[in-house]
Every structure is written in C-alpha cells, then in structure tokens.
Amino acid sequence: MTSATFSADYHQIETLAAAQRDFEAEHIQLSPGRFRFRMRLADLGPVRIQANAVEGTYLCQARVRPGTWALFFPTGGPVGVSRMNAVHQGAADAVLYGPGAELHARVVDGQCWAMAVLDDDRFGPTLGRMPGAGAGRAVPLPGLLAQAPGLRDLAALASRDVPGAAWATVAAAAVDDLHAALAATVPEGRVPRADARAVRVTAAAVAYLATVHGRAVSSAEVAAAVGAGARWVNLCFQAVYGISLHRYLRAWRLAESRRRLIAGGDGLLVKQVALDLGLWHFSRFARDYQAMYGETPSRTLAAGR
C-alpha cells in the first residue's frame, strides 16, 4: 500500500455529499454567509480516518454503509454544543454508529472532529461487544477518549507526511493500535488459567517474534502465526504475563528499536528505525524510549556508532 492521504477544502455545502465515500448524506446550511469545510483523510485499509473542521453551522442527515462502522469524536472547537443523534458530546466523548445506522447531526461553527470508518470484518467482533452497539444502532460512548487517548493521535495521522515506502507499516501499526484501544474498553470475557495451554500459545507467539526483526508486527499477524484468534492470544498473554498482547508488542517494538540503534550502521536514522517498526508518532516514541531506557534514541545511536 502506498501513502493514501487526501486533503480538500470545500466552500460550498452542496459539494460535501459527493465527497463522502462512506455515507449517503444530505447537508443543509444554517448559518448565513461564509461556509468552509476542511477535510483531511488517511486510508489505512480496514480503517479510514477523516479529520474535519468547519466554519459555519449546518445540519447533516446520513446513513452508514453496510459492512462498516463509524466512530465520531471531537478534536477541538466548541464543547457540548454540536449534536449527534440528540447527544451533546463532551470533550472526551464519542458516538459509535453500526452498519446501516442513521446519523442526524447539527454541527456548529468552529467545530473540529474526526470520523473513523471501520471495516466490519476487522472490527465488528470487538465493536459488537460494546453495550448497546449493533447494526442499525447509534450508541454514545462517554469518556472513550480518556480510555483510548490514542484516538486523537490517530486523527493527526491524516495530516502527517509519511514516506510512501513506510505507509503500509505505519497503516498496519495504526490499525492494530486502534483495535487494541477499542478492545480495552469492553469486557474481555473468560480469562484462561496460566495452564499448559495458555503457556503454549504464549510461548509460540514469543518464538514467532524472535524470528522477526526490524519491522512492525501486528496482533493479527501473531495470532495467524500461532493458529489462534487474536482475542484468544490476548487472553493467554493476560493469563501468563498479566499484560495484553498489544502492550507486549509495544514493549517488543521498543526493544527492537534499541537493538537496531545499538547495532548502528552508516546512514542509519532514528526516524527510519521508528517507521520500520510502525512507530509513526515520533514524539511519543522518543518519550517512551527515554522513559524505558533512560536515554534518547539519538544518544543510543550515537553511542553505537
């Protein structure tokens, strides 16, 4: 997958409906005079992130396409003024729309928000476990951004300049991070005991990671490698280590980045190491790295050289 981003500014409300690839939508302008709609889109395969900002107030009626879910959350602007299906969103709140659900919104002047359109095959089993969620339904998720703060970072990806060769790695890591963040907000279900079976699955996953160096690995890839479902592998990691598979992979990515930085090499760049491992949020990577190892990535690289 090459870098798939799109940016556009619309100054006429009539052009918005044609630009929405995931909805059948109608818009009605409420505020007289100026109107501007800024859209930034990042296509990550099973996820499309659209970051929006509006100047002017309008009404929207839409329907989510079959086979997809839509998650809306604010990123700036007035708080608790815009409405989505009669819900006033707080600064940390989101609204989830299932496949085929109707959306009725009043969006006010200065509102900034993001929309994540999620493929049902990848996210349906997780989203369907959220209380009240389902096909044709809209459910408010108060406080979701406090539970999954990475959603705001994901929205910023729509305006990031990621080299084409690194886009597939970044996209896979971003999708995995989003899935883990959403999965962490719903009940896990039965956790297996740390018996032979849980240890066997976890050991197989760890052994697989030992064969992979220098690139990002998603939870879905690990699960496929050990012949089990991603949710079950996650439960096994919880039983054996007391942490999720996703948290394990985050620590593993940091360890892999350190291994490469210590090894050094002519022309090696910290940014390239991070991108190769799907660590596209560079300031967070540097912060997490320093917190873990007591030095910055650039200092590790310099010492290796």
Residue 233: in which H helix or E strand, if any? helix 230-241
In a domain, 182, yes or no: no
Which residues make Cβ contacts (< 8 Å) with residue 167, sequence separation at least 6? 1, 2, 3, 4
In a shared domain, residues 36 and 153 = yes
In a shared domain, residues 137 and 11 = yes
Residues paired with 43 in a beta bridge: 48
- Condensed to tens digits (0 to 9), the pLDDT of residues 23-51 reads 888 999 999 988 999 999 988 889 999 99
In a shared domain, residues 224 and 112 = no
CB atoms near residue 66 (< 10 Å): 9
pLDDT score recorded for residue 186? 79
Q: Say what percent of the chain tops pLDDT 90.
A: 50
In a domain, 175, yes or no: no
Residues paired with 115 in a beta bridge: 50, 72
Packing angle, helices 245-263 and 167-183, rounded to 10: 150
- The lowest-confidence range among 11-20, 121-130, 152-161 is 152-161
In a domain, 280, yes or no: yes
104 token code pair: 């009725």
Place 211 in a pLDDT band, splitting at 50, 70 and 90.
Answer: very high
| pLDDT, mean of residues 102-120 | 94
Which residues make Cβ contacts (< 8 Å) with residue 121, sequence separation at least 6? 46, 67
Handedness of CA 50, 93, 138, 179 (dihedral sign): positive
Decide if 114 contacts 151 (C-beta within 8 A): yes
In a shared domain, residues 192 and 90 = no
In a shared domain, residues 98 and 210 = no
Domain that holds residue 57: 5-162
In a domain, 174, yes or no: no
In a shared domain, residues 141 and 33 = yes
pLDDT score recorded for residue 125? 87
State how far the Cα of 25 lies from the Cα of 18, in Å rounded to an integer.
Answer: 8
pLDDT score recorded for residue 190? 61
Q: What's 150's domain CATH number?
A: 2.60.120.10
Place 231 in a pLDDT band, splitting at 50, 70 and 90.
Answer: confident
In total, how many domains does the chain have? 2
In a shared domain, residues 154 and 205 = no
Which residue type occupies 234?
N
The rounded radius of gyration (Å) of the Cα atoms in the chain is 21
**pLDDT over 50 (residue 2):** no
Please give the model's pTM, rounded to 2 decimal places.
0.80
**pLDDT over 50 (residue 1):** no
- The beta strands (E) that lie in the chain are given as 5-10, 23-29, 36-43, 47-55, 58-64, 68-76, 83-84, 87-88, 94-97, 102-107, 112-119, 138-141
What is the rounded average pLDDT for all residues in the chain? 88
166 token code pair: 């690194």
Q: What's 220's domain CATH number?
A: 1.10.10.60
